[in-house]
Amino acid sequence: MKSRFAPLLILLGLLLATPALALDLHSARTTGLVGEKADGYAQALKTTPDVQALVADINAKRQQEYARISKENGQPIEVVAKLAAQQIITGLSAGVSYQTPNGEWKKK
């Protein structure tokens, strides 16, 4: 009888664990794991392997996009990134951490 329920319990455990593994930027921001820096990139505020992997992925994608926009508009990538930072920070939800231009961290 126990062996019949074992696969069901394992499946249930996997289903319940899956949302914990699926970390996205919005969730990471709202739970205080990730903040937005004034230079246009994300920063891990709580250091865990999942958060670090998420931040590395987000920042790599942003860097590619900033480079593309920089090339199209003839602007330095740092200028593009800082302009993007302003837009990102303006659109943040209440309670999300962000870095001011002078390096101070605040919550929206």
Which residues is 107 bridged to in the sheet? Answer: 97
Dihedral sign, Cα of residue 74, residue 75, residue 76, residue 82: negative
- For 1, 50, 68, 72, the CA distances from 47, given in Å and listed in that order, are 43, 8, 30, 35
Name the residue among 22, 61, 58, 26 with its Cα closest to residue 43.
58
Q: What gap in Å lies between CA 26 and CA 3, rounded to an integer?
A: 40
Which pLDDT tens digit goes with each residue over 28-84? 999 999 999 999 999 999 999 999 999 999 999 999 999 999 999 999 999 999 999
Please return the burial class of 63, using the count of CB atoms within 10 Å of its CB with bins 0-12, 13-18 and 19+.
Answer: middle
pLDDT computed for residue 23 by the predictor: 85
Say how many C-beta atoms besides its own lie within 10 A of residue 50's C-beta.
15
pLDDT band at 14 (very low <50, low <70, confident <90, very high): very low
Question: What's 24's DSSP letter?
Answer: -
Q: Sketch the domain layout of the chain as residue ranges.
A: 24-107
- Global pTM value: 0.78
